[in-house]
Amino acid sequence: MRQLNFNVIPLQAGTTTNSVAVNSVNLFQISAQIAATAGAAGTLKLQASNDDSEAANFVPVNWSDIPGATIAVAGAGAYLIPNQEICYEYIRAVYTSTGAGTISVVLKALGA
């Protein structure tokens, strides 16, 4: 069984940011948790891409929001995007900031 537990947005100031693209071939379930400090505010969402290439260091360019995979962040705490079924080539986390504070995002995924 393939498992992934990946800090896709390491601890940083709570500014608007996209995580790296995570190859999600053979993954079928994913969740995400954001840890935020006081002053953090914004939205965390998961996006997917089915762009495909065999090229080394390929970076997908076409991204779509995964329906139901969005959570509002309002102050200090841990916020969770619960388990989502997935079937995509790549996934990423997107944090849109409307506040300050610091954030960190971890993806957890299971697959075959």
Cα 80–Cα 39–Cα 73 angle in degrees, nearest 5 = 25
* Domain 2-111 part of CATH 1.10.1660.10: no
Looking at residue 83, its amino acid is N
Q: Please state, in angstroms and rounded to a whole number, the distance separating the CA atoms of residues 92 and 86.
A: 12
Domain range annotation of the chain: 2-111
d(CA 35, CA 78): 4
In this predicted structure, the answer to whether residue 41 has a pLDDT above a threshold of 90 is yes
pLDDT for the residue numbered 24: 95
Residue 1: the pLDDT is 83
Quick one: which of 22, 41, 27 has its CA closest to 96? 41
Query: What is the model's pTM?
Result: 0.94
